[in-house]
Copies of this chain bind each other. A is one copy, B any other.
Amino acid sequence: MKLPPLVQAFVLHFGEMGSRWGINRTVGQIYALLYVSPDPLNAEQIVEALGVSRSNVSMGLKELQAWNLAIPKHIPDDRRDHFTTPDDVWQILRTLAEERKKREVDPTLSVLRELLMQTPGSVEERHAQQRMAEMHGLIEQLTTWYDDVKKLETERLASLLALGARVTRLLEAKDKVVGLVRGRPGKEG
């Protein structure tokens, strides 16, 4: 691997973190490399930069494309595929959230739904089902919120983030004034 020191450090870090993020080292490194690269790179350039096999790069790029984290960019008069990462970091965040939800949350949600349909055959199963219902409720609430928030444009999302928890205070104030929660007064004393 022959890369400017700064880039190399970044790439190596992403490789190491890979396992914690549920991707493998090469995939992490390829992503990092594409992310900081000023121009789209082709597979051969990645091979040279990272010192891994051509086939490994091919598989890594395929996985990154499945994650929508590497996008092919055609370079005129060049038959080889070139790749970049989406350049807007907010878009990357959305993509990441979407894909992780799809892979890590949705399957569990559907299993929970299925199990909650069944009739418990014992006290233990009855209790287990109650716990599953709690988990299901939480996940459903989170995903509903997520589906809702992901539609926001970057600018609004950003300003919402910037507001942080202060948002509650604002809402409470507003609650009192406008009677937002359908006539009920504010909750806190």
Q: Residues of A with Cβ closer than 8 Å to B?
A: 4-7, 9-10, 13, 17, 19-22, 35-38, 89-90, 93, 103-104, 107-108, 111, 115, 118, 120-125, 127-129, 131-132, 134-135, 137-138, 141-142, 144-145, 148-149, 151-152, 156, 158, 160-168, 170-171, 174, 180
Copies in the complex: 2
**Also in contact, A120 and B158, with CB within 8 A (given A36-B132, A111-B13, A171-B170):** no
Contacts of A38 in B (CB 8 A): 123-124, 127
Other A-B contacts than A4-B121, A6-B118, 20 sampled, CB-CB below 8 A, are A4-B122, A4-B128, A5-B125, A6-B120, A6-B121, A7-B128, A21-B104, A22-B22, A36-B132, A38-B123, A89-B134, A89-B135, A141-B161, A148-B164, A148-B166, A151-B165, A163-B171, A167-B167, A167-B171, A174-B174
